[in-house]
Amino acid sequence: MIGETGNRLRCLIGIAFIASITLILMVGMPSASAGGEDANLHSVQISATPSTQGVGGIVTVRAVAQLYGGCCYNLYADDLTAELTLPDGVILLGGPSPERYASVTAQPGGVATERVFEWTVRSKAVGVYDLDVVVRSRNCGNVKDNVTLEYVEGAAISEPALFPDPPDMRMDLFVSVNVSIAIRDVTVVSVSVYTVEGAREFVKAENETLILEGNRSVAGTFTVLTEHEYQKGIWWTRLEPPDSERIVLWVVVVGSDGKNTTSPVYSLRAIDRDRDYQELRGLYMASTFIPLLGAIAVIYVNNRLLAKRLEPILIRRGRASEIMAMRAMVFYAVLTIGVIMVLYALSAGWFQETGGLLQEGI
């Protein structure tokens, strides 16, 4: 009787071990049927180009929705649409383009799948306007974002566009701005970008001077921008790789009427992309393999504990001993599955977060 019961329980322990390994494989590498699940509609980012425009000028509003699939399989978003809400004084000229996406397949691997919506708007009144966008999916909920748009008299200077963004300490930095003057018979004579390296607490910029806290000031290093040959109003230049992680930057425009316009001051953080990428890639790989190894270790330890728990039971006789052994086996099987699911849930979030950073090139 003892031998028969022992063989039966050892067989059940083996089955539990195989079932646990199978569960890991099913969780880590889901079948194709999992593709019908809902995608993660993570966020939407809205931007206005230019963000500062002369009265009557056209602004392009762009919304980028980000969706995520599973760890190793596709997920889906149905009927993805975007709605732009405009305040009084701003009129819609066109868009969105496209109006909707019937279905979006979110790719696996922690890398965002992006879908873009664009509108064109205009205002004939000076002011600061808030624009709101909502992106909806029939099966994935909705996300929101907003952007501030300013219409001004005189020279309008957009926020500088950078490449690479964020700046890289090993690469040249390309800077471009959109400049326009809405005053009749007044044109742009020159556009210059001023930079100051190092972390400084500043108040504002006045022409070539950066005003610091405590009534101090420092002169910026200037570079003259060139107007784009085929895109009028776009001015650009190339700067040397920064030596410091902190860069302060602003733009000054000189009009044909002799008046200068100074943009807001922008504080930028430069990175060493090669170094940061290698560090993040190590975390990304760890988020894939460590939970798998941890799950296997949990299964091994639990089976050892189960065998130790069953050892005194195997020397007993009767139906009660079998029932006690079965209860012990069920307890450790449930514990194993619970720990595996917790590890998987934690690793999925880590996997997605690090994958998103890798996609951004950080």
Domain membership flag for residue 85: yes
- Express each pLDDT in 230-239 by its tens digit: 888 899 999 9
Last residue of a domain, one of 270, 292, 321: 270
112's CB contacts (< 8 A; 6+ apart) are 42, 66, 67, 68, 356, 359
Residues 289 and 208 in one domain: no
Q: Which of 50-59, 177-186, 276-285 has the lowest mean pLDDT?
A: 276-285
Q: What pLDDT does residue 202 have? A: 84
Least confident range of 49-53, 175-179, 279-283: 279-283
For residue 300, being part of any structural domain is answered with yes
Same domain flag for 263 and 280: no
Q: Is residue 289 in a domain?
A: yes
**Which is more confident, 5 or 48?**
48
pTM higher than the cut 0.75? no
Q: What range does the domain containing 241 cover?
A: 167-270
Are residues 147 and 195 both part of a single domain? no
Q: Of the residues 270, 298, 329, which one is the last residue of a structural domain?
A: 270
> Domain end: 270, 302, 334, which one?
270
> What's the CATH code of the domain at 69?
2.60.40.10
Together in a domain, 95 and 11: no
Please spell the DSSP secondary structure of 215-262, one letter per residue. Answer: TEEEEPEEEE-EE-SSSTTEEEEEEPPPSSSEEEEEEEEEETTS-EEE
- Together in a domain, 182 and 201: yes
Are 240 and 278 members of one domain? Answer: no
How far is Cα 172 from Cα 194, in angstroms, rounded to an integer? 16
* Alpha carbon of residue 349 to chain centroid: 13
137 falls in which pLDDT band (50, 70, 90)?
A: very high
Based on the domain organization, do 54 and 9 belong to the same domain? no
Q: What is the domain count for the chain?
A: 3
Would you say residue 22 lies in a domain? yes
Q: pLDDT of 313-346, one tens digit each?
A: 555 555 555 566 666 666 666 666 766 666 666 5
Q: Which pLDDT belongs to residue 357?
A: 47
Does residue 172 sit in the same domain as residue 146? Answer: no
What per-residue confidence (pLDDT) applies to 239? 92
Question: Rounded mean pLDDT of the chain?
Answer: 77
Q: In the predicted model, what is the mean pLDDT of residues 117-125?
A: 91
Query: What 3-state DSSP class applies to 51?
Result: coil
Residues 132 and 104 in one domain: yes
How many Å apart are CA 45 and CA 132, to the nearest integer? 10
Classify residue 158: in a domain, yes or no: no
Question: Do 71 and 135 sit in the same domain of this protein?
Answer: yes
Q: If you write DSSP's letter for every residue of 177-212 in order, what string do you get? A: EEEEE-STT--EEEEEEEEEES---EEEEETTEEEE
- Taking residue 269's Cβ as centre, other Cβ atoms within 10 Å add up to 12
Beta carbons of 115 and 67 less than 8 angstroms apart: yes
Question: CATH no. for residue 233?
Answer: 2.60.40
| Residue 161 domain flag | no
Is residue 167 reached through a cis peptide bond, with omega within 30 degrees of 0 on the bond before it? Answer: no
Cα 267–Cα 270–Cα 275 angle in degrees, nearest 5: 160
99-113, 205-219, 329-343: least confidently modelled range: 329-343
Q: What is the average per-residue pLDDT within 185-199?
A: 87
In a domain, 23, yes or no: yes
Please check whether residues 127 and 197 belong to one and the same domain: no
Rounded Cα–Cα distance for residues 345 and 133 (Å)? 31
Is pLDDT of 179 > 80?
Answer: yes
Average pLDDT over residues 275-300: 64
Q: What is the pLDDT, as a whole number, of residue 28?
A: 46
Above 70 in pLDDT, residue 14?
Answer: no
The residue-averaged pLDDT of 199-207 equals 81
Q: Is residue 159 part of a domain?
A: no
For 342, residues 6+ apart whose C-beta sits below 8 A from its C-beta are none
Same domain (yes/no): 93, 181: no
